[in-house]
Structure 1
Amino acid sequence: MEVVSREGMRVDRPLLTITHLTQLLTYFIGFGSLIVPLIIWLSSRNRVEGMNEHGKAIINLQLSLILYVILSIPAILLLGLGIITLIGTAILGFVLPIVNAVRASNGESPSTFLTIPFFS
């Protein structure tokens, strides 16, 4: 049974959850944490309720993580503190998609903890 919202969009919480969990592809195959959610978001943002909000949160998180890693590399050479930033980035990139997947399955808005709002 397909649930349709007031706006005529499909309510598909499992797809929202899977979209968040695809961010973890980098930890398993080395790439895909930006490309796969981007494709899912762009292909279903007008059909699935909440996909636009969750998709923007995913892309903002992934772009923020990339920026944090790029900024950490010179910080390793200059101060040595870049190692701590890289470890924190790896932890954030692993934990936040799981937290947001749980939030999506419960019908809640995604968490934007330490995320730069590139898309709002």
Structure 2
Amino acid sequence: MLFSLPLRVACSLLAWLSLYTWFCHCYKHRNYEWSCRLVTLTHGILATCLSAYIGFIDGPWPMSHTGSPNTTLQVHMLCLSLGYFLFDLCCIFRFARRKTMKKYHAWRSRRNDELYLKTNGHLKDH
């Protein structure tokens, strides 16, 4: 084995981050989430094509050789997908946190506006 599995996964994560950075640079007029979705599309196409190649051409056939040891190409595919999973997890936390903070600030501003109103709908005297 040339490289350890954690190193392969780290290299895969670095490759997905590099692709994301390149998409952000090439498509400056789009937001960052759009570039993340392009990386997702790229991974989907690549994973589907490589999995089809591994299953149908390179072998072994997964229906007749279940439980057999993984081939080198299968391990590479696993590391590639695990690196993408970590990239996607970071994107989810990044974009979900941003959306949550926007909702929180909108709620706080709405709450501050309601402090000036009495329960019967009239404005409070200052």
Q: TM-score, normalised by structure 1?
A: 0.40
Flag the structure with higher helix content.
2
Higher Rg of the two aligned structures: 2
Q: TM-score, normalised by structure 2?
A: 0.38
